[in-house]
């Protein structure tokens, strides 16, 4: 049937005949607005995986800055007379280094930090080096030299961007100096050495670009944060994923350790350092430098609703389903208190304990938290048993906060079928569904939400990505199928209230999981086609759905629909109709958009077509070619209320028309 039509289309085109407009006529009912589209559509899910935080979005360039990794000098190389001490000024990070005179006057004492896959710096930019230091043996002053060092292809080293720092107190003090490299170098090392005769103690050695996102000192990489802002996300889910749960309860993400002075935030093991033996990164820890305060601030600055997720007292059930990895439900109090305190931290008045901490950190105003997730991919009866007391306590103290439960790690099947009714029973406000699935699944799920129960919790498509069969990397076709699937999210705006692709970030040299939405190295950022799909939906989400049908049926890629998926919305603010169409087939296809129900004097004008297309379905943007596939925008004209177009094979297209 499909071949038949393709042949006909090709033939028709070759003889210059316009293909029958009725072939794929999509009728958009303009008279009646459908469901309002939630402001939380479409969002972002952040997890510290693939060096997404430390070594990624968090702009710190020094690894193991507090000497607290289990091997205290991991990431550091020492020379001369360096010793590790453990009675430092920061209670949770007691280790520091002592630089004393080497035995021989001509020798040097110091250390070098390798950064995250090197220390990446740009010519002409400013970098703030800071260190806590003291003179432990008295004396008036001592000097350390700080420099960035490049190694050339012959193995020769040379320092650039050098500064001296004078240490002048026997008390611990913070010192800082600006380095301004005269070259761009993605893989330098940071060298610090004693430049005078007096012994010096050093703690919390840090190097940040001055030009961070919004200029914050404990800030974020500007290019990566900008990529997030450019999506205009509706919601920002953090801090994970599996890292919320931990491999064991000890290593779960503990938000209380991630706030307060950055020097005193302890490190946490990052489970992604060992999850996949073939992608093993023994130096991958969480510094908590980008903690909950920074997450809330970022959410605000990119205009997204913050959505923190907390442990429900169950460690990762994939990795560790032993009973000692579960808190007995009768001992959940401190976990529940963590959730209540978090709401106070985000929203509480400055007279409250946690509200005061937020104010002390620089944000006296409330962060206006509205949502909280409890548990990530939990399953089995343990999960509802653990969730229930959280729901009771949160409802009692904060009845307006919306609570998000989980349907487990699968998009269907036993756990999913068990958990959805449980979430209904517990009256969770939203249910977080996760699906990393192959092409076939995405092609078959266009109508997934069309028949969901409208009376229960709303849907949060919290983690999803098309994982091509045998092609678990970013490529155009995966992104196209995500777009096709997302037309179903859009059509079901009455029940789908949030959606976030996953994971967000990946360092090209340090990934554990792919595909991902944004790739980066030490100096560059790559927006993938999946990124552009998310962005096209988010920037064109509209205010209300509109009914769109072909042969009186939703366009969901079902049998007889020629691999087409489509949805339509109305944007009240600029009086625009927006139609999204994915052609997942191998065929070029004519379509007609018929805007039905418009009054005679209504005109549609200023037509715009934004298209994502690649002839090579396996291709995506790369560090070398970051703009290989980007949305192409052009003007299109519309005749009355009818628009005709030819959809090339494998394209995702957004059409916009203003109503006059
Ligand atoms: O996104 C990567 C992981 O996938 C998340 O941590 C987890 O929630 C899911 O299994």
Q: Is residue 297 situated within a structural domain? A: no
> Same domain for 549 and 596?
yes
- What's the per-residue H, E or C state across 162-231? EEEEEECCCCCEEEEEEECCCCCEEEEEEEEEECCCCCEEEEEEEEEECCCHHHCCCCECHHHHHHHHCC
Give the number of other CB atoms < 10 A from CB of residue 431: 23
- What's the per-residue H, E or C state across 334-369? HHHHHHHHHHHHHHCCCCCHHHHHHHHCCCCCCCCC
pLDDT for the residue numbered 3: 38
Residue 643's CATH number: 2.60.40.1180
Strands 496-501 and 458-466: parallel
> Same domain for 638 and 571?
yes
φ and ψ of 2, to 5 deg: -65, -45
User: In the structure, which protein residues have their CB atom closer than 6 angstroms to any atom of ligand 1?
Assistant: 47, 49, 240-242, 376-377, 409, 434, 463, 502-503, 513
- Ligand 1 nearest-atom number relative to CA 49: 2
> Same domain for 567 and 654?
yes
| Residue linked to tokens 């919305």 | 569
Nearest residue by C-alpha to atom 5 in ligand 1: 241
Residue 178, beta-bridge partner list: 128
Q: Is residue 494 situated within a structural domain? A: no
> Same domain for 31 and 96?
no
- Ligand 1 nearest-atom number relative to CA 377: 8
- CA-nearest of 502, 514, 630, 526 to 44 is 502
Strand order of the β-sheet with 505-507 is: 505-507, 518-520, 525-527
User: Ligand 1 center to residue 200 CA distance, Å?
Assistant: 44
**Residue 251 and residue 60 in contact, taking contact as beta carbons nearer than 8 Å:** no
User: Ligand 1 center to residue 240 CA distance, Å?
Assistant: 7
Domain boundary, last residue among 209, 224, 259: 209
- In a 3-state reduction of DSSP, which class is residue 647? strand
> Same domain for 628 and 562?
yes
- Which stretches within 381-514 are classed as H helix? 382-397, 414-425, 439-444, 476-491
Residues with a known catalytic role: 377
pLDDT for the residue numbered 485: 98
* Tokens coding 272: 């992604």
Residue 185's CATH number: 2.60.120.260
- Ligand 1 nearest-atom number relative to CA 409: 10
> Same domain for 32 and 108?
no
The Cα diameter of the chain in Å comes to: 94
Residue 105 lies in domain: 76-209
pLDDT for the residue numbered 470: 84
Q: Is residue 562 situated within a structural domain? A: yes
* Tokens coding 9: 């289309």
Q: How far apart are CA 573 and CA 554, in angstroms?
A: 26
> Same domain for 565 and 652?
yes
**Residue 602 and residue 640 in contact, taking contact as beta carbons nearer than 8 Å:** no
- CA-nearest of 30, 28, 93, 91 to 581 is 28
Q: H or E stretch including 269?
A: strand 268-269
pLDDT for the residue numbered 104: 76
Nearest residue by C-alpha to atom 1 in ligand 1: 503
* Tokens coding 627: 């703009």
> Same domain for 88 and 169?
yes
* Tokens coding 521: 């190295």
> Same domain for 563 and 650?
yes
Gyration radius from the chain CA atoms:
28
Q: How far apart are CA 109 and CA 605, in angstroms?
A: 72
Q: Is residue 353 situated within a structural domain? A: no
> Same domain for 83 and 169?
yes
Q: How far apart are CA 336 and CA 593, in angstroms?
A: 52
Give Cα separations from 216 to 450, 539, 643 (angstroms). Answer: 44, 27, 48
pTM of the model: 0.95
* Tokens coding 305: 């609703």
Domain boundary, last residue among 183, 209, 235: 209
pLDDT for the residue numbered 182: 96
Q: How far apart are CA 414 and CA 408, in angstroms?
A: 10
Q: How far apart are CA 184 and CA 636, in angstroms?
A: 43
- CA-nearest of 251, 220, 276, 231 to 50 is 276
Give Cα separations from 173 to 89, 112, 133, 176 (angstroms). Answer: 10, 21, 6, 10
Q: Is residue 182 situated within a structural domain? A: yes
Beta strands of 531-624 (E only): which ranges?
544-550, 564-571, 576-583, 589-596, 604-613
**Residue 450 and residue 556 in contact, taking contact as beta carbons nearer than 8 Å:** yes
Segments of the chain with pLDDT less than 50? 1-22
**Residue 634 and residue 68 in contact, taking contact as beta carbons nearer than 8 Å:** no
User: Ligand 1 center to residue 224 CA distance, Å?
Assistant: 20
- Ligand 1 nearest-atom number relative to CA 45: 1
**Residue 461 and residue 433 in contact, taking contact as beta carbons nearer than 8 Å:** yes
Q: H or E stretch including 111?
A: strand 110-113
* Tokens coding 250: 């000890």
Among 247, 434, 464, 518, which residue has the most ligand 1 atoms within 8 Å of its CB, making it the best to mutate? 434
> Same domain for 106 and 31?
no
> Same domain for 93 and 33?
no
Domain boundary, last residue among 187, 209, 231: 209
Residue 354, beta-bridge partner list: none
User: Ligand 1 center to residue 242 CA distance, Å?
Assistant: 5
Q: How far apart are CA 595 and CA 586, in angstroms?
A: 27
Q: Is residue 428 situated within a structural domain? A: no
**Residue 573 and residue 541 in contact, taking contact as beta carbons nearer than 8 Å:** no
- CA-nearest of 333, 290, 247 to 51 is 290
Among 51, 237, 239, 242, which residue has the most ligand 1 atoms within 8 Å of its CB, making it the best to mutate? 242
φ and ψ of 448, to 5 deg: -45, -45
| Count: domains in the chain | 2
- Rounded to 10 degrees, the C-alpha dihedral 416/237/538/558 comes to -10
Q: Is residue 100 situated within a structural domain? A: yes
Residues 6+ apart with CB under 8 A from 328: none
Query: In the 8-state DSSP scheme, what is residue 329?
Result: G
**Residue 158 and residue 225 in contact, taking contact as beta carbons nearer than 8 Å:** no
User: Ligand 1 center to residue 512 CA distance, Å?
Assistant: 11
Among 502, 504, 505, 530, which residue has the most ligand 1 atoms within 8 Å of its CB, making it the best to mutate? 502
Q: Is residue 194 situated within a structural domain? A: yes
- CA-nearest of 443, 626, 464, 450 to 534 is 464
- Ligand 1 nearest-atom number relative to CA 436: 4
């Amino acid at each position: 049937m499909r071949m038949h039509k393709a042949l006909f289309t090709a033939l028709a085109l070759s003889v210059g005949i316009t293909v029958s407009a009725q072939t794929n006529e999509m009728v958009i009912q303009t008279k009646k607005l459908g469901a309002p589209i939630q402001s939380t559509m479409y969002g972002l899910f952040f997890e510290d995986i693939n060096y997404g935080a430390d070594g990624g979005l968090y702009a710190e360039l020094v690894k193991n800055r507090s000497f607290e990794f289990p091997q205290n000098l991991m990431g550091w190389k020492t020379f001369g007379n360096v010793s590790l001490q453990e009675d430092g000024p920061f209670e949770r990070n007691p280790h520091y280094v002592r630089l004393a005179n080497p035995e021989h006057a001509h020798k040097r004492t110091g250390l070098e930090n390798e950064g995250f896959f090197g220390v990446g710096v740009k010519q002409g930019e400013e970098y703030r080096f800071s260190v806590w230091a003291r003179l432990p043996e008295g004396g008036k002053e001592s000097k350390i030299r700080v420099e960035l060092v490049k190694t050339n292809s012959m193995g020769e080293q040379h320092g650039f961007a050098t500064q001296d720092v004078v240490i002048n107190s026997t008390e611990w003090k913070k010192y800082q100096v600006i380095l301004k490299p005269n070259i761009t170098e993605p893989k330098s090392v940071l060298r610090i050495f004693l430049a005078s005769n007096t012994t010096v103690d050093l703690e919390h050695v840090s190097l940040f670009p001055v030009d961070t996102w919004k200029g914050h000192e404990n800030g974020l990489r500007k290019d990566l944060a900008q990529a997030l802002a450019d999506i205009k996300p509706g919601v920002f889910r953090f801090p994970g994923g599996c890292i919320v749960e931990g491999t064991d309860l000890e290593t779960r993400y503990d938000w209380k350790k991630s706030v307060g002075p950055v020097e005193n935030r302890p490190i946490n093991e990052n489970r992604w350092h060992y999850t996949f033996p073939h992608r093993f990164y023994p130096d991958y820890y969480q510094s908590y430098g980008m903690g909950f305060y920074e997450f809330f601030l970022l959410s605000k600055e990119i205009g997204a609703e913050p959505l923190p997720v907390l442990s429900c007292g169950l460690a990762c059930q994939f990795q560790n389903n032993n009973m000692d990895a579960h808190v007995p439900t009768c001992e959940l109090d401190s976990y529940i208190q963590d959730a209540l305190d978090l709401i106070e931290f985000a929203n509480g008045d400055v007279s409250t304990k946690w509200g005061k901490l937020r104010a002390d950190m620089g944000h006296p105003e409330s962060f206006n938290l509205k949502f909280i997730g409890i548990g990530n991919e939990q399953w089995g009866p343990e999960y509802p048993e653990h969730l229930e007391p959280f729901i009771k306590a949160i409802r009692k103290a904060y009845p307006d906060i919306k609570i998000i439960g989980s349907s487990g790690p699968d998009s269907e099947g036993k756990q999913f079928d068990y958990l959805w009714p449980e979430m209904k029973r517990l009256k969770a406000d939203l249910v977080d569904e996760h699906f990393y699935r192959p092409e076939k699944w995405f092609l078959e799920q266009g109508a997934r939400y069309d028949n969901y129960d409208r009376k229960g919790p709303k849907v949060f498509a919290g983690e999803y990505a098309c994982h091509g069969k045998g092609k678990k990397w970013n490529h155009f076709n995966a992104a196209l199928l995500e777009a096709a699937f997302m037309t179903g999210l859009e059509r079901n705006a009455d029940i789908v209230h949030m959606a976030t692709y996953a994971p967000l970030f990946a360092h090209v040299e340090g990934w554990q999981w792919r595909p991902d939405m944004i790739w980066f190295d030490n100096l560059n950022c790559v927006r993938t086609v999946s990124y552009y799909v998310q962005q096209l939906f988010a920037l064109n989400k509209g205010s209300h759905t509109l009914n769109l049908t072909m042969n009186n049926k939703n366009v969901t890629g079902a049998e007889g629909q020629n691999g087409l998926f489509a949805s339509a919305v109305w944007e009240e603010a600029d009086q625009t109709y927006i139609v999204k169409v994915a052609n997942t087939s191998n065929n070029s296809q004519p379509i007609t958009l018929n805007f039905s129900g418009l009054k005679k004097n209504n005109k549609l004008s200023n037509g715009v077509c934004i298209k994502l297309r690649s002839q090579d379905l396996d291709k995506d943007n790369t560090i070398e070619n970051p703009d290989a596939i980007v949305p192409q925008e052009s003007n299109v004209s519309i005749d009355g209320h009818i628009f005709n177009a030819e959809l090339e094979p494998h394209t995702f297209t957004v059409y916009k028309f203003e109503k006059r």
